[in-house]
Amino acid sequence: MEARRHVALKESIRSIPDYPKPGIIFRDITTLLSDPRAFRRAVDALVHPYAGGRIDQVAGIEARGFILGGAIAHQLSCGFVPIRKKGKLPHTTVSMAYALEYGTDEIEIHVDAVKPGDRVLLVDDLIATGGTATAAVNLLQKIGAEIVAACFVIDLPDIGGAQRLRDMGVEVRALMQFEGH
């Protein structure tokens, strides 16, 4: 039954070839989000392993991580913390730079977003190279969070991001995998 549920979820993902550049297949979760049953099944599947456990905050990576993270935080009855691109948060922040394919970027979090020792679940829609996710883990740990796990709807295992997180000692959960880029 569990495998069938994930197959149905996988079918709700739209694949767009040659976006954002030739040779890339973009995995679009907006089709999953617009399907109420698929969205509910995805959130439930991400929540299930942590229901009844102690999660203090769910941290969502901009932007689709906000959508998923807010729903997950609601289900877990805990707070939600946004991790945003530099310059988007209004209060005092802590930032972390990370490498992109061509250059660097920076994410930030409010300096008081979590308390030291808070157990945090990191959420985003997809893990590819892991650059943003590893920066988010480092950022959360810098302000004292304990990372319980990093959760994603989609893992692109051929690119290696989930393994990068595992190598950092972070549990990784993904609802489905797509081969290739």
List the catalytic residues.
64, 101
Is 49 exposed, middle or buried (CB count within 10 Å of its CB: 0-12, 13-18, 19+)?
A: middle
Distance from C-alpha of 54 to C-alpha of 46, rounded to nearest angstrom: 15
Cβ neighbours of 21 (radius 10 Å) = 8
Instruction: With beta carbons less than 8 A apart as the criterion, state whether 171 and 149 touch.
Output: yes
Compute φ and ψ for 129, nearest 5 degrees. -75, -25
